[in-house]
Amino acid sequence: MSTTANLTRTEARERSAHLHLSEYRVRLDLTGATDPARATFPSTTRVRFTATTPTTFLDFLGEVSAVVVNDRPVDAASVYDGARVRLDGLRTDGSDNVVIVEGAGHYSRTGEGLHRFVDPVDEQAYLYTQYEPADARRVFATFEQPDLKASFVFEVLAPAGWEVLSNRAPEQVADVAVQGPAVRRWRFAPTERMSTYLTAVVAGPYHQAAGEWSAALPGGETLTVPLRVWCRASLAEHLDADRILEVTRQGLGFYHREFAFPYPWGKYDQVFVPEYNLGAMENPGCVTFTESYVFRSAATRAQYQARANTILHEMAHMWFGDLVTPRWWDDLWLKESFADYMGAHASVAATEFTDAWTAFANRRKAWAYTQDQLPTTHPVVADIPDLEAAKQNFDGITYAKGASVLKQLVAYVGPDAFFAGARAYFAEHAYASTTLTDLLAALEATSGRDLTAWARLWLQTAGTATLAARCTVQDGEIVELVVTQDGTDPVTGEEVLRPHRLAVGLYHLEDDGDGLALVRSHRLEADVDGAATELTAAAGLPAPDLVLVNDDDLTYAKVRLDPAGLETARAHLGALRDGLARSLVWSALWNATRDALLPAGEYVDLVLRHGPAESDSAVLAGLTVNARTAVEDYAPAAERGARRAELAEGAWQRLTAAEPGSDAQLVWARAFAAAAAVVPGAGGRARGLLDGAERVAGLPLDPELRWSLWRALAATGSASRAELDAELERDPTADGVTQHLAAVSSLPAAAVKAADWDTLLRPGGLTNDHVDATIAGFAQPAHRELTAPYAEPYFAALRRIWTEHSIEIASRLVRGLYPHHQDAAEGTVAEAHPAVRRTTGWLEANEDAPAALRRLVVEARDHLLRSLRAQLAGARALR
């Protein structure tokens, strides 16, 4: 990213202080999109605004052919530097300035800007935009910052027969008289005031399913919102639109009631698009989703729950983020934390997925804990000095930790006060931009609480606290129960002891008629504030078999089980009847494994022992992924081979023992396929499933599972290129092409690694999805010896990667190609490992490298250090 492309917060504030925008009129000519040789599309922007300075700039990443300022033509070459269009001689008397910029944008293959995809099934072209945080400027000239809101009018020329969507419904669709293929002009209604990053254009022969939702308004009128769900034509047979529309109606009804602000964006389109970098994006009235939510293969309840959660997350943004928008990316967390919280909350309150907080506790919070323990952690309210930093901060702290903190805030002020504050916030700041201060003011007014100290400790400090129970027992009764808290801000090094409103569960083993069960006998709710808090209500209660701190998952903190609780979990975790409590214990065990307090091998044993009792497929899937990570990253080298075989065999046994057609069967099948990629001996069963020699009743051998098995065979050298090509002929879809690439890249041959390396480093050589697929194959954990020669070239290429690729692709390459599969040598320290020292050497020699690049390298080193420390601790435990 060039210097002028990396807009700073200071520049944005300066520009915002001098401008007030009225309207953009944007004209895009997409008629050439069906021609692969056409790399660009014509783009014309007409923007109207007032200014109090005679000089400012527009942002545009493309080619500029003409600039007109207040009817005065300007030499484009003299005012455009490749990222900014300088505007001079502006009117400052309060009258409107009108600027027109003509040029061309580039079709994207990276999911940034206007992405073009050609479906291999029918060779139809599909387009969609993705802008956040600052890629609208890849499509049209903009003032690219969230607080400069305006109304937008889009006009799009597209091939006749295409559908074209934007934030508003079209006002006019008309044929255009042209020579050659037929063309149609789409002119869309003006939007309400909104940020540039929220605008959207989707075009192509998309398939649609339609519906509507209605609700009563306070004046007795009825609000009716047209609903449509879209996907590529070749995916239409797999689009379960009825289920998607059902969740959509449930969500709109819930938010309509809770927010007391009518849905403000007219229509509600949801478009499932290919090669998408995100889960979804909250473009008002035109929400885009990854098409991986259109299930071509069998899906578990957890997958449907995840999709519903995402639908409701994006829908919450229609109010929090779209209607009211953060002023700058420092407050990105405001909208993302709120939407992440609401995704789970609305799932529980309005849909069939009443156990959504269980999946959140097990998976989303794990992401937060991981991110929050990195040396690059930051407060929830982060310091975002520029756009490169903004791009890096779409992380587990901004989303999952922020949502966890909001859940704690709801417990702290009460749900009624929280939602009353949200309603007041929307009413006061509709179509405007805000900061954290505005939200806190609304919540203080409705709750009567001063939130200054709470916000300072929870939002303006970094790191995660560790909570534990100290239970003193005598004669079968509790004498004293104390909750301890240990917390340090890793950024400042200072002690941070946060206030926690939490619950402590006391669990006992008893026969519940279905066998021995671990059941909660008492729930103690308390305010924990300080290093130690005694729960006086526990005195005299029967001694528990398990004390679970943060039961019901009300707060954000790592939890350590006490020795008695750990022994109970080892023996009886599967007997814990409550799903959320079980998930919290699993979380504590995984954190202990990552922190080198629980040997990786023991974690794998626990998953295989108690996993079959797990009824939540989201939790079970997470356990099997964690088990693989434990084996590959945290188990010592001397133990790894045996643990790999144990995990593959254990997954197979549980697959064959599971109820036919159940979610558990499918999860264990996927776990077996993944484990087989590092166990050559498992290849016979994998091939048997593919050719029918092994049959498992109820197990669907659909495309997803078949490709997983083929990747496993490829990684162990048990499949040929010809066999992989034959599978592609069987599944020539877009996903089939991507999976085939991953499988071919998984072949254990030096020539394959060399070709993949060259292709990955070549700018523009692969699409975003194909970059991921190639990295996955290149970095197979069983191929450590084959990838070892690329450690030095990796560090030599880092700066070139950053400058020659977009930030999205460069970030994937920096993360994915880092030499993270390493073995710790016994008797050493992690910091002395050659890969760690090589990384440290690069960081010391490249202090002037872009901050976003250095952050990725620092994080990669920390992940490696954690892996090596766990391996060394595991080796000591084996002695």
* Sequence letter at residue 841: G
**pLDDT confidence bin for 394, thresholds 50/70/90:** confident
pLDDT at 69: 99
Q: What is the C-alpha separation between 360 and 347, in angstroms, rounded?
A: 11
Helix (H) or strand (E) holding 19: strand 19-29
- 24-36: b or e for each residue (b if 16 or more CB lie within 10 Å)? bbbbbbbbbbbee
pLDDT in tens, 70-122: 999 999 999 999 999 999 999 999 999 999 999 999 999 999 999 999 999 99
Only one residue has tokens 């597209």, namely 158
State the average pLDDT over residues 180-196: 97
Write the CB contacts of 190 (distance below 8 Å, at least 6 apart in sequence): 23, 151, 152, 153, 168
pLDDT at 843: 99
pLDDT at 785: 96
Helices (H), 134-284: 241-259
Contact status, residue 469 vs residue 481, Cβ threshold 8 Å:
yes
pLDDT in tens, 322-342: 999 999 999 999 899 999 999
pLDDT in tens, 864-878: 999 999 999 999 988
pLDDT at 622: 97
pLDDT in tens, 688-741: 999 999 999 999 999 999 999 999 999 999 999 999 999 999 999 999 999 999
pLDDT at 878: 82
Q: Which of the residues are catalytic? A: 314
Find the distance separating the first CA and the last CA of the chain, reported in whole Å. 51
Helix, strand, coil shares of the chain, percent, nearest 5, are 45, 25, 30
Contact status, residue 275 vs residue 117, Cβ threshold 8 Å:
yes
State the average pLDDT over residues 397-413: 94
State the average pLDDT over residues 220-226: 96
pLDDT at 2: 54
* Average pLDDT over all residues of the chain: 97
- Strand order, beta sheet including 19-29: 72-74, 63-69, 97-106, 40-51, 19-29, 151-159, 183-188, 170-176
Contact status, residue 143 vs residue 47, Cβ threshold 8 Å:
yes
User: Is 1's pLDDT higher than 70?
Assistant: no
CA 781 from centroid of its chain's CA atoms:
23
State the average pLDDT over residues 467-493: 96
pLDDT in tens, 2-48: 568 999 999 999 999 999 999 999 999 999 999 999 999 999 999 99
The residue among 279, 282, 6 whose CA lies nearest residue 134 is 6
State the average pLDDT over residues 503-507: 98
Q: What are phi and psi of 779, to 5 degrees?
A: -95, 30
Q: What is the C-alpha separation between 174 and 164, in angstroms, rounded?
A: 12
Contact status, residue 338 vs residue 241, Cβ threshold 8 Å:
no
Contact status, residue 311 vs residue 303, Cβ threshold 8 Å:
no
Percent of the chain whose pLDDT exceeds 70: 100
Contact status, residue 555 vs residue 562, Cβ threshold 8 Å:
no
Helix (H) or strand (E) holding 837: helix 834-845
Q: What is the C-alpha separation between 100 and 72, in angstroms, rounded?
A: 10
Only one residue has tokens 């990222």, namely 83
Q: What is the C-alpha separation between 526 and 622, in angstroms, rounded?
A: 30
**CA R_g for the chain:** 28
pLDDT in tens, 777-832: 999 999 999 999 999 999 999 999 999 999 999 999 999 999 999 999 988 999 99
Contact status, residue 382 vs residue 393, Cβ threshold 8 Å:
yes
**pLDDT confidence bin for 514, thresholds 50/70/90:** confident
pLDDT in tens, 607-634: 999 999 999 999 999 999 999 999 999 9
pLDDT in tens, 547-575: 999 999 999 999 999 999 999 999 999 99
690: three-class secondary structure by DSSP: helix
| DSSP string of 500-559, one letter each residue | EEEEEEEEEEEE-SSSEEEEEEEEEEEEEESSEEE-GGGTTSBPPSEEEEEETT-S--EE
Per-residue DSSP letter, 782: G
